[in-house]
Amino acid sequence: MDEKYFEANKKMWNEFAKEHFKTESDYYNVREFLEGKTTLRKFELEDIGNVQGKKLLHLQCHFGLDTLSWEREGAFVTGVDFSDEAIKLAKQLTEQANLKANFIQANIYDLKDALSGEFDIVYTSIGVLCWLNDLKKWAEIIAHFLKSGGIFYVADGHPFLHVFDYDNEENFEVTHNYFHTNEPMEFVSEGSYASQGEKHMEPHKEYEWNHSLSEIINSLINAGLKIQFLKEYPFTAMKGYSFTIENSDGYYEIPKDKVQIPLIFTIKAMK
């Protein structure tokens, strides 16, 4: 990755971490987590199953809410993120919650230099793949840390959704490539996805890459993993799109009288 893209995105995520950690943030709701509420989604818990006593590696963990929720499910967890601010807050949250998670600040492409050992589960979710420029290397890192017979699981926004104009969602105008390009998409951010359009940061550039489903799946296969399933859902866990409404399960979906498209996908693979 061009260093300027990495540094710009890291700067943004350092700011996001501080904003998202605030107890008054409705999106992340740290207060409810500390009171015992899990941040894991129902489909993730069902897909991955019992993690009691298993070693779990969480890639791109942000400040660790999902990581620590897996610890509460019984796993021995390690979280990794490139944001030093996020990792600092993750360690603080671990102490506040009286848990024992291990958190490491590292770009996952450099993770072999910062972490050793193998894991029963490698996990990543949601809003993660767009920040990675090289899925071949990403999949190789996953395979490196996954023990034989272990599982990898990813949940993320569907790449089909990413082709549309983010600033003009309701018209569904196609403005971005579906397939991966070496040069990233460039955006200017003044606030995070969790702030519901509120501007709370100085404008700065961020860089993202799209990845097709075939690229994601083939990267994992070429790294030696066996795909167990691919699922696509007409709802999302994030209130990030103006055309969605909240359903009875707390997810966000396109109204039933409108054309349905996939909003998230999940993949489970085994080494």
Residues 161-209: tens digit of each pLDDT: 877 776 665 666 777 888 888 888 888 876 666 555 555 667 778 899 9
| Position with higher pLDDT, 221 vs 31 | 221
Confidence at residue 166, expressed as pLDDT on a 0 to 100 scale:
62
- pLDDT above 70 for 78: yes
Range among 27-36, 138-147, 253-262 with highest mean pLDDT value: 138-147
How many percent of the chain have pLDDT more than 90? Answer: 59
For the chain, which domains are there? 3-270 (3.40.50.150)
The whole model's pTM is what?
A: 0.92
d(CA 220, CA 211): 13
